[in-house]
Amino acid sequence: MSEALVGSRIDIRPLAVHEAEARLDELANILVDAVAHGASVNFLSGFSHREGRAFWLSQLPGLAAGEKQLFVADDGSRLVGTVLLMFAPQPNAPHRADIGKMLVLSSCRRRGLGARLLAAAEEAALASGHTLLLLDTESGSEGERLYRSRGWIECGRVPDYFIRTDGRLGDTIMFYKHLR
pLDDT digits (tens, 9 = 90+) for 2-46: 333 444 689 999 999 999 999 999 999 999 999 999 898 999 999
- The answer as to whether 25 is a domain residue is yes
Cβ neighbours of residue 149 closer than 8 Å, sequence gap 6 or more: 115
- The answer as to whether 96 is a domain residue is yes
Domain count, the chain: 1
Residue 1: per-residue pLDDT: 39
Q: At what angle do helices 49-65 and 24-36 cross, to 10 degrees?
A: 120
CA pair distance 157, 155, nearest whole angstrom: 7
Task: Output the domain CATH number for residue 93.
Answer: 3.40.630.30
- Among the residues of the chain, which ranges form H helices? 17-22, 24-36, 49-65, 113-127, 142-149
- The answer as to whether 138 is a domain residue is no
- The answer as to whether 164 is a domain residue is no
- The answer as to whether 142 is a domain residue is no
- The answer as to whether 167 is a domain residue is no
What is the domain range of residue 44? 2-130
The per-residue pLDDT string of the chain (180 residues; one tens digit each, 9 = 90 and over) reads: 333 344 468 999 999 999 999 999 999 999 999 999 989 899 999 999 999 999 999 999 999 999 999 999 999 999 999 999 999 999 999 999 999 999 999 999 999 999 999 999 999 999 999 999 999 999 999 999 999 999 999 999 999 999 998 889 999 999 999 998
- The answer as to whether 81 is a domain residue is yes
- The answer as to whether 140 is a domain residue is no
